[in-house]
Amino acid sequence: MTDIQNRILSRRNNGGGLCGDGSGADTFFPLRVASIFIILIASLIGALLPFLSHRSTWLKLSPAVYGFAKYFGSGVIIATAFMNLLDSAIFELQGPCLDSQWVEYPYALVFTLLSIFASFILEIVAFRWGSTRLVSIGVTHVSYGHGMSSHTPCDSEFNKSDVEKLTSDSASVIATNFAVDPAAHLLGIAIMEFGILLHSVLIGLTLAVAADFKILLLVIVFHQAFEGLAIGSRLAHMGLPKKYTYVAIIGVLLYGIAAPVGLAVGLAVHSIYNPFGATASLVSGIFNSISAGIFIYTGLVRFFAHDFLFSKEMMNSSNGKIIYTIGCMLLGCGITAVLSRWS
C-alpha cells in the first residue's frame, strides 16, 4: 500500500464524524460577505489591466510590463494545475466519507486524463472543421504560435505563394504545420476559460465554508489577481477583428464574477452544506480533476509549445529574452506553488 493510500485510510478512520449532517464554518461572517467584493475587485483588476492596456489609449503599459504579466500568468496556470487542482482532486476523490473503492483506484487521475484528451480532440475537430470551411472559400490560413499567441491575428490570409515562401524558411518549417483557423482559435480560448471559471467557482465555494478563512482569503486574493493576469493577457491578444471585441470582454467579466458567485452561493447554503460530505467530495473532486486536465493541456501545449517551441519570433529572439520569459514563468509558478501551502 502506498504512502498516499495510508494517509487516506488514516483520514478515513479519523473522519467518520464529519460524514453525516454538518455545515460549513460561519465565523467572521461579515468579513465573508465583504470578501465577495474584495475578490471581485482583485479578479477584475488582474484580468482588466492587460486587456485595457492593449485596447485603450489612456492606459498603456510598456511591452516589458505586458510581457512580464503574460508569462508570469502562464506560470501561475501551470502551477495551479498540479499544486492546487490535481492535489485537491486526489484527496477529495479518496476522502474519508467516500466508499472504500475510491481508494483502490486513482479516479482523480482518470478524470484528468479524460479532460486532457477531450481538450485535444475538441481542438482537432474545430481545426479540421474550420480549415475545411476556409479551403472551401479559397482561403489558406497560416499563423505562427498556434492558439493564443499574441503575434497571431486570426484574420490573416495568405495565398499559395506566401505559404511556399514561409515554408521555405527553415525557421518556420515546423511552425507552418501548426496553422490555426478562427474556430480552433476561439475553441482553445474557450477551453481555457471554462477550466478557469470552473476552478474559480470552486475556490469561492471553498472560501465560503472554510474554517481557516482569513489565511485562505489572503491567498485567494493574490491567486485570483495572478490568474487574472494570465487570462486577461491572452484575451487581450486574441487577434479577432474589432467587431468581435465583445467576446474578449465577456471572457474578462465572466472570470471576474466566477469566484464571487461561488462565494455567494457558498454563503447562502453554508448552514446546510457539509464540505466534508460524500457528495461535496465527489463533485469538487471531479470538477477539480477536469480543471486540472484543462490547465495541464493549456500550459504544456499552448504556453510551452505554441508560445515558445513553435513561435518563430521567440525562437529567433536573443538568449536574454528567452531566459527572461522563462524566468517570468518560473517566478509565477514558484509563487503559486508556495501559496498552495495555505490553499
Q: Which pLDDT tens digits describe the chain residue by residue (343 residues)? A: 444 444 444 444 444 445 655 566 667 778 888 999 999 999 998 888 877 777 666 666 677 777 787 888 889 889 989 998 899 899 888 877 888 888 888 999 999 999 999 988 888 887 777 666 655 655 444 443 444 443 444 344 444 444 444 344 433 433 333 344 555 666 777 788 888 888 888 888 888 877 778 888 888 888 888 888 888 877 877 766 677 778 888 888 999 999 899 889 888 877 777 777 788 888 888 988 998 999 899 888 888 888 888 878 888 888 888 999 999 999 999 998 988 887 6
- Model pTM score: 0.72
CB 260 within 8 A of CB 43: yes
- φ, ψ (nearest 5 deg) of residue 137: -105, 10
> Which residues are within 8 A (CB) of 249 and not within 5 positions of it... i.e. 6 or more apart?
51
Residue 222: its pLDDT value, please?
A: 86
The CA R_g of the chain, rounded to the nearest whole Å, is 22
Residue 22: its pLDDT value, please?
A: 59
All structural domains of the chain with their residue ranges: 39-342
Residue 334: its pLDDT value, please?
A: 93
Residue 95: its pLDDT value, please?
A: 76
> Which residues are within 8 A (CB) of 246 and not within 5 positions of it... i.e. 6 or more apart?
none
Residue 330: its pLDDT value, please?
A: 94
What are the cell numbers at 84? 492546487
> Which residues are within 8 A (CB) of 55 and not within 5 positions of it... i.e. 6 or more apart?
236, 245
CB 153 within 8 A of CB 185: no
What are the cell numbers at 149? 499567441
Residue 114: its pLDDT value, please?
A: 95
CB 214 within 8 A of CB 28: yes
